[in-house]
Structure 1
């Protein structure tokens, strides 16, 4: 079970998973948001956290290293460009 406690930067939970579709039963919740590419990062964060209440979306400027090699079922990095728009498809991980 995923810990749904919200943190500014969540402790990692992966349940032994190493890919998005392992985190949740198929069709149970969203794990990627391709339609958000080009949208405002803040809007994307709100949509992601509404669609999947188990995750915290984290806005990360393109080119900034996040320093984590772990896979987390409760985290979505939202890569944003210089204008604050989503640069690539946000995916659980």
Structure 2
């Protein structure tokens, strides 16, 4: 079980760049079910706090991953 930020085996998912958003979310959840994975639509405003239990998956207007998903 992941208990701190440094415990995560993987912190970024560059291989998901350009993939369909739902596929990216499911992939991250399968790899680490302790993470809270959320999608962020193009143009949405989000808070800036760092959370080591969260991955934001930034999507373009068509629903594809536009930034490398990472813990934070």
TM over 0.5: yes
Query: Which structure's CA Rg is the greater one?
Result: 1
Which is helix-richer, 1 or 2?
2
TM-score (norm 2): 0.87
Partner residue, 1:72: 51
Residues 1-93 of structure 1 aligned to structure 2 (within 5 Å): 2=3, 23-25=5-7, 29-66=9-46, 68-93=47-72
Deviation at 1:54, TM superposition (A): 1.6
**1:69 CA displacement:** 1.8
Tell me the number of residue pairs that the alignment of Structure 1 and Structure 2 aligns: 71
Cα distance in 2 between the residues matched to 1:40 and 1:84: 6
TM-score (norm 1): 0.69
Give structure 1 regions of 4+ aligned residues with deviation exceeding 2 angstroms.
Answer: none
The RMSD of aligned alpha carbons is 1.5
Structure 2 portions without partners, runs of 5+? none
